[in-house]
Structure 1
Amino acid sequence: MLETTRAVRAAAVVTAVVALAVAFGIRAVAGGHLNSNGVLQQDSGTALYASAVYAGVVFLRPRMRPLLAGAWALGFCWAIEAFQLTGVPRRLSEYHILLRLIFGNAFDWTDVRWYPAGIVPLVVAHLAIRSRRRPRSTAAPR
């Protein structure tokens, strides 16, 4: 099989690193610090966070179908968002900026809508790559 586990995992790591680098780059340029909360930083960060989560799912389960990996990533993102309703992430985010970046600190319906924006393009790309690499089945001889 051309799509090896090692290659898929390497692509997942690269995808996560690029998504996080772009997110942090936007925060650095637009806000000047990691804790900036402008609309651009917030919305792009949410979508790119979801992209990194998708990459994490693919890294952990490299043979998982892209649609299922996308569903898992979206479910995880939405679960974290719902977890914010408890107030626990707000308290955790007071301890370290990394905890704030991972868990957020307050529920936001806008985030719920932005998660798919970070996942869907990766699912589509993953489907396209898999379909190009999958060997064509040949018809049975008559």
Structure 2
Amino acid sequence: MDDLRGRWAVRGLAAAAAALSVAAGLGVRAVLGGEAAKYAGDALYTVLLYTLVVLLAPRLRPWTAAAWAAGLSWAVELFQLTGVPDDLARHSTLARLVLGSTFNPPDLLWYLAGAASAALAHRGARAA
């Protein structure tokens, strides 16, 4: 019973972290602008994916969740090479937010930074 309760506690924290990462991403774009906002948004995109991975699989270790989040982010970025996300982004704001539009190699690095930051925060939270 305690294990089940613990998993639900982790899921609650992951859901709160997801909402916080979305708010941070929107806030960064509204306040900073330019490349700083873009790359912070990339990192926060992966933080959001990290929180969603933990929400679905609360028992994952932080670095495993980070690998999943970074891998998903990279998959979306590489999907942009097909041109499909760009076409979808022209017709849907949601598609633009979720899939982006054009491939940008530096984004791959920022996804790793977001995944590592989320894993470090997760490890710290687990230790506390």
SS of corresponding position for 1:106? coil
Task: Write the letter of the residue equivalent to 1:71.
Answer: A
Task: Report the counterpart of residue 109 of structure 1 in structure 2.
Answer: 105
SS of corresponding position for 1:4? helix
CA distance in 2, matches of 1:30, 1:68: 31
Structure holding more helix per residue:
2
Mapped pair 1:57 → 2:49: no
Larger Rg: 1
State the 1:22 CA deviation.
Answer: 1.0
Task: Report the counterpart of residue 27 of structure 1 in structure 2.
Answer: 29
Task: Report the counterpart of residue 17 of structure 1 in structure 2.
Answer: 19
Query: Paired residue for 1:120, among 116, 121, 124?
Result: 116
Choose 114-123 or 45-54, whichever is displaced more: 114-123
Task: Write the letter of the residue equivalent to 1:118.
Answer: G
CA distance in 1, matches of 2:87, 2:43: 23
Gaps of 5+ in 2: none
Task: Write the letter of the residue equivalent to 2:42.
Answer: T
State the 1:125 CA deviation.
Answer: 2.1
Could you list the structure 1 runs, at least 4 aligned residues long, displaced by more than 6 angstroms after superposition.
Answer: none
For normalisation by structure 1, the TM-score amounts to: 0.82
SS of corresponding position for 1:62? coil
SS of corresponding position for 2:79? helix
CA distance in 2, matches of 1:89, 1:120: 26
Tell me the number of residue pairs that the alignment of Structure 1 and Structure 2 aligns. Answer: 126
State the 1:23 CA deviation.
Answer: 1.0
State the 1:127 CA deviation.
Answer: 2.0
| Distance of aligned partners of 1:130 and 1:26 in 2 relative to their CA distance in 1, 3 Å threshold | closer
Query: Paired residue for 2:43, among 28, 43, 47?
Result: 47
Identity %: 42
State the 1:20 CA deviation.
Answer: 1.0
CA distance in 1, matches of 2:36, 2:121: 24
Task: Write the letter of the residue equivalent to 2:116.
Answer: V
Task: Report the counterpart of residue 100 of structure 1 in structure 2.
Answer: 96
State the 1:7 CA deviation.
Answer: 0.9
